[in-house]
Structures are given as structure tokens and as C-alpha cells.
Amino acid sequence: MTDVHAGSYKEAIIFLVTAGVVVPLFHRLRISPVLGFIGAGALLGPFGLGRLATTYDWLSIFTIANRAEIAHLAEFGVIFLMFMIGVELSWERLRTLRRLVFGLGSIQVLASSLVLGAILLALSVPLAAAIIVGLALALSSTAVVLPVLAEQKRLNTPAGRASFAVLLFQDLAVAPVLFAIAVLGRSDGANVGGALAIALGQAAVAIVVIVVVGRLALRPLFQLVARTRSPELFMAACLLVIIGTALTAAASGLSMTLGAFVAGLLLAETEYRRAIEATIDPFKGLLLGVFFVSVGMNLDPAQLMSTPGTILGLSLGLILIKGCVIVAAARFLKLSRAVGVEAALLLGPGGEFAFVLIGGALAGNLVPEELGQAALIVTTVTMIAIPPLAVVAKRLGKRMSRNTLGRARAEPVPDKLQNRVIIAGYGRVGRLVGEMLARHKIPYLALDADAARVSEHRRLGNPVYFGDSANPELLRRCDIANARALVVTLDNPRAVEAVVEAARAERADITIVARARDARHATALYEMGVDDAVPETIEASLQLSEAVLVDVGVPMGLVIASIHERRDEYRAMLKKKETEVRPAFRARRTVGKGVEVRDGGASKDDSAGPVKGVTAKATIAKGTTAKSA
């Protein structure tokens, strides 16, 4: 048996402990965990406790010494981030926000880069280094700004949409900048133009191959995997696509991140987009944590402590320069001054891609070490300032907009998800519900776990996406926070209950209309908090009664009135019964500690999830009820 050395796994254990402590603590403090990971990397890295470990050997237990191993994992963090950026993009989103994305975003990046680069040139910095550092510092932090806006529930405000649009353009700009840095790093400086032309030719061929193969193979691949209803295989397919395209791009001379970004774009328009987002998001979060830890390891706190005035002055200068550019660009595009100031405070600090760009430039000897380290420290300090700046921006924006309310130029909501109805299951019943909503011009979005059904209706132009309706992450991706209502049409009772539980946990006030098997199941659903439960057996009986009464000669008006009256009586009776039997029902549903309630599998008509037998799973703690779980 092979000997196991704990030291071989020390870095991984330290990172997992850090993640287990940092994420809950910073969530509780309402601070982005990104800052915690950077701080942990600085503390545990070679410039933190590692510097003291040479004197005190016992501190080596708590330090991360193997920077190369962490660097490999950190690279995958950026790869997964670029893939998710590609998946989250869509032509509809770009078209909706095109004025802000390609107007405000392009002005911000170009103008900020020019101003910062000119200042660096005036300080006798070489031209290539000035351009790269200027571009790197012009970028803002998607990983910190968007979660802060989501926490404040301000993503759909004019300032939130403007900030999102600028960040979207910056994300698009990262890929070509990374490519240019890679080319410049490989060239010897003698024939940069020739090297760039050759590299562009190789890149064009590689991208064409990835796009053509992706369009031909990706949808059939995910259709095949989705039919197995296995989450493991679906996850494996996602990882295969990301890593495969990244390695293909690297073999062609491109960056791995660019390959992953292209793969994300190819999957953005498929019916599997939302299921892929829900599957990959945990990997992205964990690997990005490794990336930010590695960023912190490269920072030297002693340098900050030795010249705090200089670093803080440079940080304030960066925020002011970028802020002034954003305010001016917002006024040029006729956005309100309040929107411009809010966006300036949010986007003025540096971002995580500065670490990627400057790190690549340092590796290629394109940027002097001292300048690169100073830029990284300034970026870190400004990122730490984003949460308090967001609070100031919110208050300042409200104060400035009091006298100009209504004049702010409102842009459409990304993806137009607000006020949509979400339909869980798109079989016969779900399809009918969707048709009725469309007839009354009410927008909707449907989820279904049957890959063939989803593909069929996508071809017909219906807004149907593949995924497990009981997956909370998928519901969040479908913007349940802004949904108008949720209609659950699945014919598996346990699957219906699982979706209701997941939806109620995400949003307590959403209107839920659910399909019930019979009166008993309807009572259970009312107890779980649905607004309306429609029992199949009762509705079938009422329709039969309506048909026979009309056929035997009863006037149609009287028949319709009596059917409606009887339906209301049934609904009132079920709700009254639910109130009367609630204590006993809760007692029956109380489950002992460690016992799991699972969905019995996908249904024939409306599938509940991609995994047979494991689609909806709710572990109910001892002494709790299904409603409160």
C-alpha cells in the first residue's frame, strides 16, 4: 500500500479550510468573499506567514508554499469564469443593451486606457508596459460589483444596468487583450508585426474549427447526455467541453481562456444554457477562490506598509480618473447625472482581470516587476473599497435623483426576464398553459427535463429550456426573484412538491399554481403554500358534468354558472380541509434526522428533472416540517 504524506495535500486542505471559513464569514458580514480569498492568500502566502516560517518552523504548517500547484488550479478558475461569461451572453441581451454595451462600455475602456497610459508614459514607462497596465487598470471587477448590486437589489435600476453593460463590454475586451499579450510575450521584439500576423492567422483557423465543430457536435452531445437523466454524465459533458476547447485553443497558440469563452458563446443559444450554468457555477466559484488566493499570494503587504500614503494616493487617483471618464461618457450618452455618478463609484476601482493581464505581462517580461507589483497592490486596495463605495453610491444616487425622477433614460432589462411566468414542465398541460399565456400576450419561460421535447419546441420558437425545475440554482438563473408567477404542471406528485418547496425557499411571495393528482394531493399542496392547486380528478369530473348537462338540454349559461360555482365550492372545501388537518398533516410529514425525501423519477408527460430518481431532493432536519424546510 502506498504511503500517504499529509504534506502532499497541505495546499488543498488549507484552501478548503479557508473557503469553509471565509465564505460564511464574509457572507454574514455582507462583504464579497473575493476580498477574503485575496486577504487569505496574502496572509498564508510567501510574503505573509511564509516569511515568518523561515524563523518559526511550526508556521510552515499554515502556509501555502507550492505556488506552482496553486497556479495551475488558479488558471482553471479564470477559464471557468470566461466560459460562464460566454454562456451568460446572448444575442438578445447584446441587442437589448447594445447602446450601453458598445457605447458607454467602449468609451469607458478606451478613454480610461488612454488617460492612464498617457500618465504612465509621462512617468517614463516603456510604451508596451504603459499600454498593458493602462488597459488592465481600466477594467473593473465583475466578481465583486455584480454580487454587491444583487445584494442591494439594484441590478435592474438604471445605474445597475449601466454598470452591467460596461462590465459586459470589458469581459468581451479581455479575450483579444489576452491574445495580444500572449503574442507579444512570444515575440522577440524584432518582428512584432510578422509574429502578430502569423498568430492572427493561426487564431482565425483555430476559432473557425472550434465554432464549426461546436455547432455540429455540441447540441447532439448534450441531447444524448440529457436523455440518460444522469447528473454525473451531464456534469462530465460540461467539463469535457470546457477543458477540451481550452486545450484545443492552447494547442493552436491561443489562450485557454479564449477557447473556453468561445465554447460558452456556442452554448449560450441552446436549450441547455441554464442547466449548464447551474451545473458549472459551483466549480467556477470554488476555482475562482483558488485564483484569488493565488492573487493574494503574489502581493507583498510589506510594500503597502512601507509606502501607505503613495499606495492610497494612487488608489484614489485611479478611482477619480476612471470615475470622471464614466461620468463624462454617461452625460455624452444622455444618461442622468445620478446614473453616471453611481456607475463611476462602482466601476472606478480595479478588477480581477487586471491580475490576469498583468500576470501574463510579467511572465512575458513585458512589464517591469516593480510597476506590475504596484499596479496589483493598487487594484487590490481599490477592490476592497467597492462594498463601501456601493453604499455611498446608492445613497448619493437617491439624493441626486429626487429632483430628476422620471428623466433618467431607462434601458430594457437584460433578457427581458422581469414579470415573466415560469412554467415547470412543458408536456401536454404545460404546453397548453404556455399557449394561453401567449394568447393573452403574457411572456413566459418553460423548463423541462425531456431533451427531445425541449429540442422539438425550441425548433418551433417556444422559450423552453432544459433543466430540473426543482434545482434552486436553475430557478435563480430563470430570475425567479422577478417572476410574475410559477405554474407547476408536472404529473409526478413528489416532483410537484419538490418544485414548490424549492420555489418557496427562493421567494416566499411568488404566486404558485400547481397541478394536483387528486383532492388529497391538492390539500397537501395548499399546506405547502401554493396559491391554487388544480386536482386532475375534480377537473375531469366537472368537464364531464358540463358535457352531459349540455347534451341533455340544460341551457349553456346555467351549466357554465353551476360549474364555476361548484369549482369554487371545491376550492373552498380543500382550503378549509387543509386548515383543519394541518396539525395532523404536519405530524405525518415530520421526518427524522438524516432521512431524505426524494422525487421518484421523471414522469411520462412532464419530466421533473434530468436525473431519474434523484431529481428533487429535500433533506428535512429533525423536528421540521415540509413547509418550513
93-116: pLDDT as tens digits? 666 777 888 889 999 999 999 999
Percent of the chain with pLDDT over 70: 77
Q: Is 71 exposed, middle or buried (0-12, 13-18, 19+ CB in 10 A)?
A: middle
Short-list 223, 167, 246, CA closest to 459:
223
Predicted local distance difference test score (pLDDT) of residue 187:
55
Least confident of 140-144, 375-379, 550-554, 569-573: 569-573
Average pLDDT over residues 383-399: 83
Q: 3-state DSSP call for residue 176?
A: helix
Reading the block at residue 58, the C-alpha cell is: 511550526
Q: What is the tens place of the pLDDT at every residue in 171-221?
A: 778 777 777 776 666 555 545 556 556 666 766 777 788 888 888 888 888
Q: 3-state DSSP call for residue 422?
A: strand
Short-list 10, 37, 13, 12, CA closest to 23:
37
Average pLDDT over residues 474-494: 89
Least confident of 150-154, 309-313, 355-359: 150-154
Q: What is the tens place of the pLDDT at every residue in 491-521?
A: 888 889 999 999 998 898 899 999 888 888 8
Predicted local distance difference test score (pLDDT) of residue 339:
86
Predicted local distance difference test score (pLDDT) of residue 577:
58
What is the model's pTM?
Answer: 0.61
CA distance 188 to 450: 54
Predicted local distance difference test score (pLDDT) of residue 91:
60
Q: Is 266 exposed, middle or buried (0-12, 13-18, 19+ CB in 10 A)?
A: buried
Q: What is the tens place of the pLDDT at every residue in 575-619?
A: 665 555 444 434 433 333 333 333 333 333 443 333 333 333 333
Strand pairing class (444-448; 421-424): parallel
Average pLDDT, the chain: 76
Per-residue pLDDT band at 349 (split at 50, 70, 90):
very high
Short-list 129, 113, 141, CA closest to 181:
129
Predicted local distance difference test score (pLDDT) of residue 623:
33
Average pLDDT over residues 3-14: 62
Domains parsed from the chain with CATH numbers: 8-401 (1.20.1530.20), 417-619 (3.40.50.720)
Strands (E) in 106-242, as ranges, are none
Short-list 276, 278, 235, CA closest to 475:
278
Least confident of 53-57, 65-69, 562-566: 65-69
Residue with cell 419561460: 445
Q: In which order are the strands placed within the sheet that holds 511-516?
A: 464-466, 444-448, 421-424, 485-488, 511-516, 532-535
Least confident of 103-107, 140-144, 187-191, 427-431: 187-191
Predicted local distance difference test score (pLDDT) of residue 209:
81
Predicted local distance difference test score (pLDDT) of residue 545:
72
Average pLDDT over residues 122-129: 88
Kindly tell me if the per-residue pLDDT of 43 is higher than 50.
yes
605 touches 491 (CB < 8 A): yes
Q: What is the tens place of the pLDDT at every residue in 236-291?
A: 998 888 888 888 887 776 667 778 878 888 888 788 888 888 888 888 777 777 87
Kindly tell me if the per-residue pLDDT of 395 is higher than 60.
yes
CA distance 126 to 123: 9
Per-residue pLDDT band at 527 (split at 50, 70, 90):
confident
Average pLDDT over residues 450-469: 83
Average pLDDT over residues 21-32: 74
